[in-house]
Amino acid sequence: MFFHRAYIPFVEMSERARLTTVETVRENRSWLFTIRDQYGEKDEAILVPCEDGVEAWINRCTHESQRLDAGRGAAIRDGKIICPKHGSMFDSCSGYCDNGEAADTTLPTVEIDVDGDTVYLTDDAATFVHEGGIDDGDGNVDEDDDDDGPASTSHIGL
Protein backbone atom coordinates (compact mmCIF):
# COMPACT_ATOMS: atom_id res chain seq x y z
CA MET A 1 0.00 0.00 0.00
CA PHE A 2 1.35 3.45 -0.94
CA PHE A 3 0.77 6.45 1.25
CA HIS A 4 1.32 9.92 -0.13
CA ARG A 5 2.59 12.37 2.45
CA ALA A 6 1.44 15.91 1.69
CA TYR A 7 4.00 18.65 2.19
CA ILE A 8 2.82 21.12 4.77
CA PRO A 9 5.20 24.05 5.21
CA PHE A 10 6.23 24.80 8.76
CA VAL A 11 5.50 28.38 9.71
CA GLU A 12 6.80 29.44 13.09
CA MET A 13 4.32 31.69 14.80
CA SER A 14 5.53 34.16 17.34
CA GLU A 15 4.42 33.46 20.87
CA ARG A 16 2.96 36.36 22.73
CA ALA A 17 5.89 37.67 24.78
CA ARG A 18 5.24 40.05 27.68
CA LEU A 19 7.23 43.25 27.26
CA THR A 20 6.22 45.85 29.86
CA THR A 21 3.26 47.98 30.90
CA VAL A 22 1.61 50.96 29.23
CA GLU A 23 2.23 52.90 32.45
CA THR A 24 6.00 52.22 32.26
CA VAL A 25 6.14 53.40 28.63
CA ARG A 26 4.23 56.58 29.48
CA GLU A 27 6.40 57.30 32.54
CA ASN A 28 9.69 56.76 30.67
CA ARG A 29 8.59 58.28 27.29
CA SER A 30 9.84 55.16 25.52
CA TRP A 31 10.88 51.56 26.22
CA LEU A 32 13.82 50.06 24.31
CA PHE A 33 14.03 46.32 23.61
CA THR A 34 15.93 43.88 21.43
CA ILE A 35 14.30 41.45 19.04
CA ARG A 36 15.54 38.77 16.66
CA ASP A 37 14.08 39.11 13.17
CA GLN A 38 12.89 36.32 10.87
CA TYR A 39 16.48 35.89 9.61
CA GLY A 40 17.91 35.45 13.10
CA GLU A 41 19.48 38.91 13.20
CA LYS A 42 19.16 41.10 16.27
CA ASP A 43 17.44 44.44 15.92
CA GLU A 44 16.20 47.11 18.28
CA ALA A 45 12.64 48.30 18.74
CA ILE A 46 10.98 50.95 20.86
CA LEU A 47 7.61 51.29 22.47
CA VAL A 48 6.31 54.86 22.57
CA PRO A 49 3.16 56.38 24.02
CA CYS A 50 0.48 57.52 21.64
CA GLU A 51 -3.01 58.86 22.17
CA ASP A 52 -4.59 55.40 21.92
CA GLY A 53 -2.06 53.60 24.13
CA VAL A 54 1.37 52.59 22.84
CA GLU A 55 2.93 51.73 19.50
CA ALA A 56 6.11 49.84 18.58
CA TRP A 57 8.62 50.81 15.90
CA ILE A 58 12.04 49.65 14.74
CA ASN A 59 14.54 51.89 16.56
CA ARG A 60 16.03 53.61 13.48
CA CYS A 61 15.39 56.83 11.62
CA THR A 62 14.48 56.08 8.01
CA HIS A 63 16.97 58.68 6.76
CA GLU A 64 20.37 57.42 8.00
CA SER A 65 19.52 54.56 10.35
CA GLN A 66 20.23 56.79 13.37
CA ARG A 67 19.00 55.22 16.61
CA LEU A 68 15.97 57.10 17.94
CA ASP A 69 16.60 55.77 21.45
CA ALA A 70 20.25 55.13 22.26
CA GLY A 71 19.43 53.76 25.71
CA ARG A 72 18.51 57.05 27.35
CA GLY A 73 14.94 57.31 26.10
CA ALA A 74 13.61 58.66 22.82
CA ALA A 75 13.17 62.41 22.45
CA ILE A 76 9.43 62.99 22.12
CA ARG A 77 7.63 66.30 21.80
CA ASP A 78 3.94 66.90 21.09
CA GLY A 79 3.39 63.27 20.10
CA LYS A 80 6.38 63.17 17.74
CA ILE A 81 9.53 61.05 18.02
CA ILE A 82 12.49 63.28 17.16
CA CYS A 83 15.55 61.93 15.36
CA PRO A 84 18.51 63.21 17.39
CA LYS A 85 20.71 63.68 14.32
CA HIS A 86 18.72 65.77 11.84
CA GLY A 87 15.51 66.53 13.74
CA SER A 88 13.05 64.63 11.56
CA MET A 89 9.86 64.11 13.55
CA PHE A 90 7.84 60.89 13.36
CA ASP A 91 4.25 60.72 14.58
CA SER A 92 4.30 58.36 17.57
CA CYS A 93 0.96 56.78 16.57
CA SER A 94 1.42 56.34 12.80
CA GLY A 95 5.24 56.40 12.46
CA TYR A 96 4.90 58.86 9.57
CA CYS A 97 7.40 61.70 9.12
CA ASP A 98 6.26 64.89 7.42
CA ASN A 99 9.42 67.00 7.74
CA GLY A 100 13.21 67.07 7.62
CA GLU A 101 15.56 64.61 5.95
CA ALA A 102 13.18 61.67 6.51
CA ALA A 103 10.06 63.41 5.12
CA ASP A 104 7.43 61.19 3.49
CA THR A 105 8.72 57.99 5.12
CA THR A 106 7.24 55.80 7.83
CA LEU A 107 9.03 53.90 10.58
CA PRO A 108 8.85 50.11 10.23
CA THR A 109 6.25 48.75 12.61
CA VAL A 110 6.60 45.99 15.19
CA GLU A 111 3.31 44.29 16.00
CA ILE A 112 2.19 44.42 19.62
CA ASP A 113 -0.98 43.82 21.58
CA VAL A 114 -2.13 45.55 24.74
CA ASP A 115 -4.17 43.53 27.21
CA GLY A 116 -5.27 45.73 30.09
CA ASP A 117 -2.06 47.59 31.01
CA THR A 118 0.33 44.88 29.75
CA VAL A 119 2.10 45.16 26.38
CA TYR A 120 2.89 41.96 24.45
CA LEU A 121 5.04 41.38 21.36
CA THR A 122 2.86 39.56 18.79
CA ASP A 123 4.89 40.10 15.61
CA ASP A 124 5.28 36.83 13.68
CA ALA A 125 8.55 38.12 12.20
CA ALA A 126 10.15 38.97 15.56
CA THR A 127 11.15 37.19 18.75
CA PHE A 128 11.76 39.03 22.01
CA VAL A 129 15.39 38.79 23.18
CA HIS A 130 15.66 41.21 26.11
CA GLU A 131 14.89 44.66 27.44
CA GLY A 132 17.37 47.33 26.35
CA GLY A 133 19.59 47.71 23.29
CA ILE A 134 21.58 45.13 21.38
CA ASP A 135 24.29 43.67 23.61
CA ASP A 136 27.80 43.74 22.15
CA GLY A 137 28.88 40.77 24.27
CA ASP A 138 30.45 42.82 27.06
CA GLY A 139 27.15 43.88 28.57
CA ASN A 140 27.39 47.22 26.78
CA VAL A 141 25.01 48.50 24.15
CA ASP A 142 26.50 48.77 20.66
CA GLU A 143 26.59 52.42 19.74
CA ASP A 144 28.10 54.04 16.71
CA ASP A 145 28.05 57.36 18.49
CA ASP A 146 30.06 58.49 21.49
CA ASP A 147 28.83 58.52 25.09
CA ASP A 148 27.62 62.11 24.75
CA GLY A 149 25.01 61.10 22.16
CA PRO A 150 24.95 61.64 18.42
CA ALA A 151 26.36 64.67 16.70
CA SER A 152 23.35 66.73 15.79
CA THR A 153 22.79 68.90 12.77
CA SER A 154 19.19 69.49 13.78
CA HIS A 155 17.54 72.87 13.93
CA ILE A 156 15.35 71.62 16.79
CA GLY A 157 16.47 72.16 20.37
CA LEU A 158 15.44 69.69 23.05
Whether the per-residue pLDDT at 22 is higher than 60: the answer is yes
**Average model confidence (pLDDT) across the chain:** 83
pLDDT tens digits, 112-128 = 999 999 999 999 999 99
Q: CA dist 77 to 4, 50, 158, Å? A: 61, 11, 9
pLDDT tens digits, 129-139 = 999 999 644 45
Tell me the whole-structure pTM to 2 decimals: 0.78
Picking from 72, 112, 78, 111, the residue whose alpha carbon sits closest to that of residue 92 is: 78
Whole-number pLDDT of residue 44: 97
The H or E element spanning position 17 is: strand 17-21
Q: If you average pLDDT over residues 70-89, what whole number do you get?
A: 94
Give the percent of the chain with pLDDT over 90.
Answer: 73
Whole-number pLDDT of residue 5: 42
| Domain locations in the chain as residue ranges | 17-131
CA distance from start to end of the chain:
75
The CATH superfamily of 17-131 is Rieske [2Fe-2S] iron-sulphur domain (2.102.10.10)
- Rounded distance, CA 88 to CA 84, Å? 8
Q: If you average pLDDT over residues 43-67, what whole number do you get?
A: 95
